[in-house]
Amino acid sequence: MKQVFLMLSSIIFLSSCIGTDLIEETEVPEQVLISTNISSIKIGDEVLFEAIYTNKYGMTENKQVIWSTSTPETVSVTSSGLIRALKAGDAVIKATAANAETTRIIKVSADPVIETGINTRSGIFMSAGSGSYTVTGDVMITTQNGKSKITVKDNFKASIGPSLFLLLTNHTNGSYMVVNNNPAINGTSAQISLNRLTNFQGAMSWDVPAGVDVKNYKYALLYCTLGPVFGFAELK
């Protein structure tokens, strides 16, 4: 009797602990992402540029970022990423960390710059082949004045899921980081919806969180944090 009790107690104790599921990861190129979404400033202005380094699994790592400028007489940059517009013209700001680098063209003008152009990328959701879970419909990203918005159109429809999030990603294998109320951003994915979706069809839109440069991501994707990728759209 005592042995049975001990055995049952052990089963309950061991199985009731929170364990770990290992998710196979896809290798992606190492990246430096400039998270400050500014590409034009006026003479005399200063802006602190920030950048993050992500490793071959897309995970953020603390690496020293080295800043440089192509034309220091137009735009200067300090070792900490503070840029200063000195005269009208263009300059290329480069951020380097480990084996990765990225550049940003900065336009300097005498007057305040108002960006009136709208950049658009769009795609069509397709299911990822996770059982009966499906996603269909059109998705579009618009960027204006440094701010981006993701919109799904009237024809959007997803299977109902308990913990479904909209992400921007660079692959579709499901190894993403998601945090409630505090979007996770790295080289693999950028979390767009702060909380799990409660509407699953029809037109909706989300503001892209600060620090996410939509150009760095290839797919819009619906991910259930309990397991499967429901579907994705390649953004073109």
Partner 1 sequence: MKYLLIIILSYFQLSNLTGQAWTKPKGEGFYKLDYTLIHTNQVFDPGGKIVPFRTLGNHTFSLYGERGITDKFTLQAYIPFFVRNVLNETKGAQSGVLLEPGIENNNIGDIDIAFRYALPFGKLPVSATLLLGLPTGNSTQNSGLFTGDGEFNQMLKISTGVGATKWWTQFGFGFNNRTKGFSDEVRYDAEFGYKMLSDKLLTIFKLSGIESLNNGTEGATSTGLFSNNVEFLSPGLEFLYFVKPKFGFSFRAAGAVKGQNVLAAPSFSFGIFAQ
Is residue 124 involved in binding partner 1 (CB under 8 A)?
Answer: no
Minimum CB separation of residue 204 from partner 1 in Å reads 14
Is residue 176 involved in binding partner 1 (CB under 8 A)?
Answer: yes
Q: What sign has the CA pseudo-torsion 216, 222, 223, 228?
A: negative
Is residue 136 involved in binding partner 1 (CB under 8 A)?
Answer: no
User: Which lies closer to partner 1 via its Cβ, residue 67 or residue 176?
Assistant: 176
Of the candidates 162, 174, 163, which has an alpha carbon nearest to the alpha carbon of residue 130? 174
The single residue among 76, 109, 136, 163 that binds partner 1, judged by CB under 8 A, is 163
Minimum CB separation of residue 230 from partner 1 in Å reads 10
Is residue 130 involved in binding partner 1 (CB under 8 A)?
Answer: yes
Q: What is the DSSP pairing of strand 46-48 with strand 51-54?
A: unpaired
The single residue among 2, 3, 20, 236 that binds partner 1, judged by CB under 8 A, is 20
User: Which lies closer to partner 1 via its Cβ, residue 44 or residue 131?
Assistant: 131
Is residue 114 involved in binding partner 1 (CB under 8 A)?
Answer: no
Minimum CB separation of residue 220 from partner 1 in Å reads 19
Tokens encoding 25 = 């990861």
Stretch that binds partner 1, among 17-25, 94-102, 107-115, 141-149 (CB under 8 A): 17-25
User: Which lies closer to partner 1 via its Cβ, residue 67 or residue 219?
Assistant: 219
From CA 114, how far away is CA 15, in angstroms rounded?
A: 59
CA dihedral 58, 130, 134, 187 (to 10 degrees): 0
Judge whether 222 and 94 are in contact, CB under 8 Å: no
Q: Which residues pair with 165 in a beta bridge?
A: 223
User: Which lies closer to partner 1 via its Cβ, residue 8 or residue 105?
Assistant: 8
Burial of 168 (0-12, 13-18, 19+ CB in 10 A): buried
Tokens encoding 69 = 């400028």
Cα–Cα distance list, 123 to 51, 117, 134, 182, 220 (Å): 28, 20, 16, 26, 8
Stretch that binds partner 1, among 33-41, 53-61, 66-74, 113-121 (CB under 8 A): 53-61
Left, alpha or beta for 12 (phi > 0: left; psi -120 to 50: alpha)?
alpha
Is residue 62 involved in binding partner 1 (CB under 8 A)?
Answer: no
User: Which lies closer to partner 1 via its Cβ, residue 19 or residue 112?
Assistant: 19
Q: Interface with partner 1 by CB under 8 A: which residues?
A: 8, 11-12, 15-25, 27, 55, 57, 59, 130-133, 159-163, 175-180, 195-196, 198-200, 225-228
